[in-house]
Amino acid sequence: MSRYSQSRHSRRSESKCRGSSLIEVMLAVALMAVTALGLIAGQLWTAREARAMSMREHAAWIADSVAEAMSAPSAGDSAIRQWGARATVLLPHGEASVGDNGGVSAARVTWTSLRDMPHSDDVIDKPASCGGADLPAGSSCVALAFAK
């Protein structure tokens, strides 16, 4: 091959490589963007679930405390008011109560579950009852049965 044909051949192969490198870079950037969005979505989901678990933990702690307070002979409405006030502070629209259902007492803590609130156009099923009490949609509940 002559020197002229070698230089012409190398220029052609260089021009073919330039376009494919740009496509490879674009694909790599798109793949990294999709991966980053997936990681961000996973982190948001984890943070929401951690917050919901924290609220459920607070509610279980309050329900246990109400059950213990009600088992003492001198406890009554004052203990429920005290733990109801703590439920209001720790949980969104939190309420603590005691209910009797067929001879079994239950300490119940309810709160508004913000992430489960329905949109105006959504149709959702009514949640299961909590210790014998029906809950409105968008509420969460912890019930703890105890004997007096």
- Quickly list DSSP for 75-106: -SHHHHHHHHHHHHHHSTT-EEEEEEETTEEE
What 8-state DSSP symbol labels residue 124? -
* Mean pLDDT calculated for residue range 1-5: 57
Residue 25 has pLDDT above 80, yes or no: yes
Answer yes or no: is pLDDT of 39 > 80: yes
To the nearest whole number, what is the mean pLDDT of the chain?
Answer: 79
pLDDT of 35 reads: 97
> H/E element holding 141?
strand 139-146
Number of domains in the chain: 1
Domain residues for the domain of 95 are 3-146
d(CA 87, CA 63): 9
How far apart (Å, rounded) are the C-alpha atoms in residues 111 and 62?
Answer: 12
Q: How far apart are CA 104 and CA 57, in angstroms?
A: 23
Contacts of 126 (CB under 8 A, 6+ apart): 134, 135, 137
pLDDT score recorded for residue 68: 87
Q: What is the pLDDT of residues 51-101, one digit of tens each?
A: 889 999 999 999 999 888 887 777 677 888 888 899 989 999 898 988 877
pLDDT score at 100: 79
0.95 surpassed by pTM: no
